[in-house]
Every structure is written in C-alpha cells, then in structure tokens.
Amino acid sequence: MKAGIDAGGSLIKIAYQENHQMHYKKFSINELDGAISWVKIMAPNVTAALTGGKAHMIQKKYFPNGTIIPEFQATCEGARIFLGEEGKKLQDPFLLVNIGTGTSWHVVNGDTYERILGSGVGGGTFTGLGALLTKEEDYHQLTILANKGEKGNVDLLVRDIYESDQPPIDGNLTAANFAKGTRVKHTDSDTLASLTNMIAETVVLLTLQAGALHKINNVVYIGSTLIVNPSLRKNLELYTNMFGLSSTFLQTGEYCGAAGAYFSV
C-alpha cells in the first residue's frame, strides 16, 4: 500500500487507496506524530510519497525510504487529476491559485507548470490575525463568525466617500480596509468579514496581474483555506468574475498536493 503525504505549514494531508477507492484525511500539523502513527497502523509497510515544506523532516524521522515529490509538481499534478475527476475541462494554460497558509500562483499548461508568484497573505493570515483581533483561535469558529459579519461596519467603502453622490464605480467596493477602526460600532463578526474581504481582494488583484502578464483568463482556486469558508469563496468568485476572469473551485482542492504525490510514484 502507498500513501501520498502533503505536510505544509498548518496541516498534514494524506491520500490513500482502499478497495479501489481513493480516500483523503487531514490532521493539524501539531498532530504530526498521531497522523504518522495512524498511517503506520493502517498500513505497516506503506510506501510513502512525501511533499510539502516538512517533507524532508518527515522522511528523515519516519520514512527513510520515502520518495520526495517537489511540492509544486505535486500540487499542479493533483489539480489536473481533480479537474478531470470533477469533469471540469479548462483550456490550457490556466492559473492555479493555491491558498494555503500563504498563497502561490502557478501557470499550468498541459504537462508543464511554472510557479510565478507567492504571497504571505493566505490562511495563516486569516487564522493568525483573526485570533489577534478577536481572541478566537479555532479556524472553524472564525469562518462562522466571518460569514455573519458586515464588512461595511469596519471597511471604508466607496459609497461612504461619495455619500449622496453617484460613485463612478461600484459603491460596495472597498476604499480602505479597516479604515473605520473604532469610529463605528462593530462586532467580532464584522472584523472577520473585513479581514476575509481583504484577503480575497489581495489574492484576486495579484491573480488579475498574473493573468494579464501571461494572457490567461481561466483561474482554478484550491487550498485548505477555502474549506468551510463560504465568505472567502464568495468574495473570491465575486471579484474574479468582476474583473472578467473565469473562476473554478475544486471540491477536493485541499488535497491536490497529497493526490499529486500519491500518483507520482
């Protein structure tokens, strides 16, 4: 039996096959020992294909005979596999935007890929800054709160500047993130809605620039940060389409790295 293991900054994700069916499982990176124990109990003689930032550490400590698969190769290969499985056919090339702890941009063209951009704004920003702003540290609870909030109670919107005048652009767009600060009454949910919106705007603006530079209109969003985070996904889709790009979201996109590693050996 073999397993594809993607060990990143926040999560360890595992892809394996049982009864001719692919299965996926994830653990917090803080549960690394427990995750590896689970793999070895499930398959004592497992062949491990490792990828992600902590792949070499895991190889050295747990799987000395494991195979290291370059992270970007595994991610892009996994995305192509899932696009096929989910019946989402895109014309090459396309932009692959992986929103994990941080965010990476790749150009995928047939069997080739190139990482073209990276940003420190991503899921780690949402969890870390969200905890600093609200004292809530659980990711799932943060996403629930963000989905209930109203960004306009924290962000300065275009319509706030023009007041009674007709703005030249959509009045709901952000003029300045968090600019209302303590001047307007707001809740933790409003703060997290503003944070989610800022992350989405940043990712989409960088995506727009990457697309223009490489003359690409199709964008595929993947990554663990999108899981159970409807507010982020909604904003990404809204802004991406607003700028004339086509957005695709993979249902199992958080496991692209693990699946890509699995099928690479």
Predicted confidence (pLDDT) at residue 181 exceeds the cutoff of 90: no
Q: Is 50 left (phi over 0), alpha (psi -120 to 50) or beta?
A: beta
Examine domains 2-88+255-262 and 119-249 and report if their fold is the same.
yes
Q: Is 71 a catalytic residue?
A: yes
- What are the tens digits of pLDDT across the range 85-98? 999 989 999 999 99
**Domain-wise residue ranges, the chain:** 2-88+255-262, 119-249
- What integer pLDDT is reported at residue 250 of this predicted model? 96
- What are the tens digits of pLDDT across the range 23-73? 999 999 999 999 999 999 988 999 999 999 999 999 999 999 999 999 999
Q: Which CATH architecture has domain 2-88+255-262?
A: 2-Layer Sandwich (3.30)
Token pair listed for 116 = 């073209």
119-249 maps to which CATH number? 3.30.420.40
Neighbouring C-beta atoms of residue 221, cutoff 10 Å = 25
Alpha-carbon distances of 204 from 197, 221, 238, 239, rounded to whole Å: 10, 10, 10, 7
- Of 18, 31, 71, 254, catalytic: 71
Host H or E run for residue 176: strand 174-176
Alpha-carbon distances of 94 from 83, 175, 185, rounded to whole Å: 12, 30, 42
pTM: 0.95
User: Among 62, 59, 69, which Cα is nearest to 33's?
Assistant: 62
Residue 258: CB partners within 8 Å, gap ≥ 6? Answer: 4, 5, 6, 13, 14, 15, 24, 51, 74, 78
Amino acid at 221: Y
Host H or E run for residue 73: helix 71-85
- What are the tens digits of pLDDT across the range 91-148? 999 999 999 999 999 999 999 999 999 999 999 999 999 999 999 999 999 999 999 9
Contact 257, 72 (CB under 8 A): no
Cα(24)–Cα(4) distance, integer angstroms: 9
Helices (H) then strands (E): counts for the chain: 9, 12
DSSP 91: P
